[in-house]
Structure 1
Amino acid sequence: MSTSQSSSGVERIDGASVRIGALVPLSRPGWVEAGQHLLAGLELAVRDVNGAGGILGRPLELMVRDTAADPQKAIAVVDEWARQGVVALAGEYHSVVARAAAARADALGLPFLCSSAVLDALTEQPTDWVARLAPAQSHGWQVYADFLLSEGHRRIAVAIEPSVYWASGTRILQDYLAPRGGTVIELDMRTLAPDAVCDALVDHRATALLLLVGYPEPAVSIVSSVRRDPRLAEILIGAPAGQPEFAEWARLLGHEGTSIPFLRYLPEHFSPLGVRVEAALRERLAEAPSFVAFEGYDTITVLADVLRSGRVDWSRVVVEGTRGKIRFSRVAGISVWQWAWPLVQVVDRDPNEPDRFRILHAG
């Protein structure tokens, strides 16, 4: 059933405030720094929405829960919020958690705007209850594969741990690179120690190593081992999932953490709104905001527009976000409403100035 024609909590807003439930990873094994940036963007946008009059005269209230990267915890929270009258869901960084939340939101008829998770199949079947701001993994990782090819890399190793997200990324790379002369070599980190990765890279004659593993460990140990092996002085280390985006990466690895390309979703130049939000986020976080913080801000901006309209119809949304105009559409192979696409960049930390990012490729 199309949500544009169906009843939803959005149409039954009552009470003193309009409550949105925010799912964020704020404790391990979740990616805590990503969760902090996501929450900073969400909270800043709520402040701005309320400063502009709220939702039909009512203040917007953000109810925050830590998912700790646990899908079952997220499902339980969504059920609890549905009983408490939350009218929409926002957030989540981890794809596996977002997928669980999206399935539950769809079953309950509760609108969910996913901020950051990129796994293509957020729901098993097409749904009108769920939309997403981040680009689908198949889109972003193909951009990354184009970058690898443009740099002359054809023998690409992936240090991989068991995960639906990592397995999906590996398939995307294999499917895209194989017809173009590329080979993906899987190094199973359940059986290899970081030092043994170096020997495997030499044996396989790999020219690039991608980190499809947990953070901070074993990612940090793998980088240190490879950087200190003179046999691998010319190898490219890459992290498409974005580990080097956050300041903790630089603190843990120092110079060893530079020149490691990763994906981020930012324009080359911000609009006036983006400039203002960037300054406010920098003050709130006491550091440069990541793309995840902007995803958080844009999520609330979009949901406020949906809530003011009184119905869930993602097709009618046209909102000026921090990273450009946001519209949603149906994309082949994607089961949710999708912003197609925010700009995808491949960037790294400058070895001469580790706090500065270099744009290496865009798509």
Structure 2
Amino acid sequence: MNTPPSHGTSVQIGALVPLTRPGWVEAGRHLLAGLELAVREVNDAGGIAGRPLELVVRDTAADPRRAVAAVDELARLGVAALAGEYHSVVARAAAARADALGLPFLCSSAVLDALTEQPTEWVARLAPAQSHGWRIYADFLLGAGHSRIAVAAEPSVYWASGARILRDYLTPRGGTVIELDMRALTPTAVCDELVGSRATALLLLAGHPEPAVSIVTSVRRDRRLAEIMIGAPAGQPEFAEWAALLGDDGAAIPFLRYLPERLGPLGGRVEAALRERLAETPSFVAFEGYDTVAVLADVLRSHGADRARIAESWPRVTIEGTRGKIQFSRTPGISVWQWAWTPIHVVDRDPAAPDRFRTLHTG
């Protein structure tokens, strides 16, 4: 058995996580569980050259300004690198600041393509870019016979980017995207718009729990819309809170999930440990957290805690993660070092057993 680290100052990683509202708290809890589990395992195996690995956690609460302040503070504290973040707009602000400060940032979960305005050597990402995942979702829609797609969209860079990706992909293939502005519409009014639009699918480009939950409830209760498919490419139904709030109404709503259909030995072991830690089924976000620390620990062992050397190491990373071999490369249209690609599936909660997921489409 490996001896836990017992000497030397710790090697610190700064962790950006949404832990309070209006952040998606459940996603933050899963992300943190994955980060913490991996840190514990690194230290149980001897740490970083005998030095303990320490996670310095800051709550972003889905606030870009708060995230930037946290990056500044963590840089002053001397962290070797940054990890985490779930919300794309927040991660973009953090990435810009990390790039300006020369602080390596391995983004766990945010998918916005333009994570930084200009190409950077300092930032790498595990989550697939939004354009990649959402095009897979668009393929699923076309394959399922949906060509008139309504999107209930809130104003944000992330939702606007998603709507644009869908429109650019579907329009040349005979599809139509009808945008419903959630600044102007109530959930009941969304139902009236859907009836008039002749859309066969409604996509939730809106926050969780609200207004997404209220939109689902209204549509499910409207007899005029009994045949419409509700979809959520951003993954709102992944978390247990969705099923708790919506019950049977939350089933049969396809979303993107960044997990393989079957986990390998490492993934299975980590899944069991995460389940025990969370007291529920771990989401793909928890695996992203675990893999983030696994990558950073590997880099720290090989290259030390010097920030410049960490950033220089991104293209040389080769590590077996919970969901496959992780390597970073330059991907056209993506400004950061990118894992291309994590496994992607379109899944939903089974109406016969809402705690069970069905695979509908493989990317």
**DSSP-derived class of the 1:302 partner:** helix
C-alpha distance in structure 2 between counterparts of 1:84 and 1:195, whole Å: 50
- Please name the residue that 1:304 is paired with: 297
1:325 aligns with 2:318: no
C-alpha distance in structure 2 between counterparts of 1:74 and 1:291, whole Å: 23
- Please name the residue that 2:208 is paired with: 215
The aligned amino acid for 1:343 is P
- Please name the residue that 2:350 is paired with: 350
Report the TM-score, using the length of structure 1 for normalisation: 0.96
The C-alpha deviation readout for 1:314-362, integer Å capped at 9, x for no partner, is 1110001000110000000000000000011100000000000000001
**DSSP-derived class of the 1:142 partner:** helix
Equivalent position to 1:134, from 123, 127, 131:
127
Equivalent position to 2:50, from 46, 57, 61:
57
1:268 aligns with 2:261: yes
- Please name the residue that 1:334 is paired with: 334
The aligned amino acid for 1:344 is I
The C-alpha deviation readout for 1:120-174, integer Å capped at 9, x for no partner, is 0001111111000000000000000000000000000000010000000000000
The aligned amino acid for 2:319 is V
Equivalent position to 2:170, from 173, 177, 198:
177
Which residues of 2 match residues 171-320 of structure 1 at below 5 A? 171-310=164-303, 311-312=309-310, 313-320=313-320
The aligned amino acid for 1:74 is A
1:121 aligns with 2:114: yes
The C-alpha deviation readout for 1:177-208, integer Å capped at 9, x for no partner, is 00000000000011111001111001000000
The C-alpha deviation readout for 1:193-238, integer Å capped at 9, x for no partner, is 1001111001000000000111101111100000011110010000
Report the TM-score, using the length of structure 2 for normalisation: 0.96
Structure 2: 5+ residue runs without aligned partners?
1-6, 304-308
C-alpha distance in structure 2 between counterparts of 1:68 and 1:15, whole Å: 33
C-alpha distance in structure 2 between counterparts of 1:51 and 1:163, whole Å: 42
- Please name the residue that 1:361 is paired with: 361
The aligned amino acid for 1:339 is W
- Please name the residue that 1:9 is paired with: none
The aligned amino acid for 1:275 is G
**DSSP-derived class of the 1:48 partner:** helix
C-alpha distance in structure 1 between counterparts of 2:8 and 2:118, whole Å: 33
C-alpha distance in structure 1 between counterparts of 2:296 and 2:97, whole Å: 18
The aligned amino acid for 1:238 is G
The aligned amino acid for 1:122 is L
The aligned amino acid for 1:112 is F
Equivalent position to 1:109, from 85, 102, 110:
102
C-alpha distance in structure 1 between counterparts of 2:354 and 2:76, whole Å: 47
- Please name the residue that 1:39 is paired with: 32
Give 1:263 deviation, angstroms.
Answer: 0.5
- Please name the residue that 2:14 is paired with: 21
**DSSP-derived class of the 1:217 partner:** coil
C-alpha distance in structure 1 between counterparts of 2:173 and 2:265, whole Å: 41
Identity of aligned residues (%): 81
C-alpha distance in structure 2 between counterparts of 1:214 and 1:136, whole Å: 19
Contact 2:36 2:55 (8 Å CA) reproduced: yes
Give 1:246 deviation, angstroms.
Answer: 0.3
- Please name the residue that 1:100 is paired with: 93
User: What's the Cα RMSD here?
Assistant: 0.9
Give 1:56 deviation, angstroms.
Answer: 1.3
Equivalent position to 1:143, from 136, 149, 157:
136
Give 1:15 deviation, angstroms.
Answer: 5.9
Contact 2:8 2:50 (8 Å CA) reproduced: no
The aligned amino acid for 1:49 is V
Contact 2:345 2:361 (8 Å CA) reproduced: yes
Structure 1: 5+ residue runs without aligned partners?
1-13
**DSSP-derived class of the 2:183 partner:** coil
Aligned pair count?
350
